[in-house]
Amino acid sequence: MRVTDRTRLRRLPAEGSYRTEDLHAVLDAGFVCHLGLVIDGWPMVVPTTYGRAGDYLFLHGSVASRSLRAAATPTPVCVTVTHVDGVVLARSLFNHSINYRCAMVYGLPTVLSDPEEKLAGLRAISDQVVAGQWGYARAPSTKELAATTVLRLGLAESSVKVSAGPPDDAGDPDGELDVWAGEIPLRTVRLDPLADPALRAGIELPAHLAGGDPVPGSMRPGDLA
């Protein structure tokens, strides 16, 4: 990753990283991002699913999507992925904070037109959300593919920032206050699948959902023990 004026971390740079492996770790731990771009002179930030394959992010949506239509021409975008790991409670309200892992990716996305490239991008997104589902459910039809916009965004201009640990005011005068201080860890938990009420009898839960890889960034209830 290259450091630019956009990605240079000016506040608390010690919490930042430009290492590719750190970027991949943050991106691979989730599947929901926020896509930011300017439309008609105003900023727009849209939550959407994504997938990473190699040094690219893939995003998708309807061809009718306003944000994706705007990205059909070379339009600068910023994609952010954030995981909230905990609330940090200090002895003063001023020093309360959040533990998090965050990645920011800047660039000019490419709108994929080749059907095979679009399918590869959609598979990356599907695999990121639920590994194994791509080969299990029906693949997109030609009509569905034509109705879908797929963006590919390179990861060259990116940065990572991680905040972790307890409050840092123990050595201040506030450290003498009779106020509890510490962390409240937060986790996303994957629960047991719920079948569609209209599901036909005899269709069993597939192995990749029953005991396969968890949703990125999540935990199963048993993992909390």
> 51 or 190: which carries more pLDDT confidence?
51
The CA-based angle 48-50-52, given to 5 degrees, is 165
Residue 12 confidence (pLDDT) above 80: no
- 160 in a structural domain: yes
Task: Answer whether residue 179 is part of any domain.
Answer: yes
The predicted-structure confidence for 116-156, as pLDDT tens digits, reads as follows 999 999 999 999 999 999 999 999 999 999 989 999 999 99
* φ, ψ at 104 (rounded to 5°): -125, 130
Task: State what percent of residues in the chain have pLDDT above 90.
Answer: 63
Indicate whether 127 belongs to any domain.
yes
The residue range of the domain holding 60 is: 13-187
Q: What is the pLDDT of residue 16?
A: 60
- 108 found inside a domain: yes
Residue 25 maps to a domain = yes
**Does 178 fall in a domain?**
yes
- How far apart (Å, rounded) are the C-alpha atoms in residues 166 and 87? 9
Predicted TM-score (pTM) of this structure = 0.85
Please, what is the average pLDDT of the chain? 86
pLDDT at 190: 84
Q: Mean per-residue pLDDT for 149-166? A: 92
Residue 163: strand pairing partners: 100
pLDDT at residue 112 tops 60: yes
Q: Catalogue the long-range contacts made by 205-212 (C-beta closer than 8 Å, 24 or more residues apart).
A: 206/132, 206/136, 207/132, 208/130, 208/131, 208/132, 208/133, 208/136, 209/130, 209/132, 209/133, 212/131, 212/132
User: Whole-angstrom Cα distance, residue 225 to residue 219?
Assistant: 11
Residue 220 has pLDDT above 60, yes or no: no
27-75, pLDDT tens digit by residue? 999 999 999 998 888 899 999 999 999 999 999 987 667 676 666 677 8
Tell me whether residue 7 is in a domain: no
Note whether 159 and 1 are within 8 A (CB): yes
Query: Closest by alpha carbon to 51, among 157, 153, 138?
Result: 153
Count Cβ neighbours within 10 Å for each residue of 69-96 and write b for 16 or more, e otherwise: bebeeeeebbbebbbebbebbbbeeeee
Give how far Cα 141 sits from Cα of 115, 119, 183, Å.
11, 10, 48
Over range 17-36, report the average pLDDT.
Answer: 90
User: For residue 6, is it within any domain?
Assistant: no
The residue assigned the tokens 């201040």 is: 172
Kindly report the CATH number assigned to the domain that includes residue 94: 2.30.110.10
Total number of domains in the chain: 1
d(CA 95, CA 84): 17
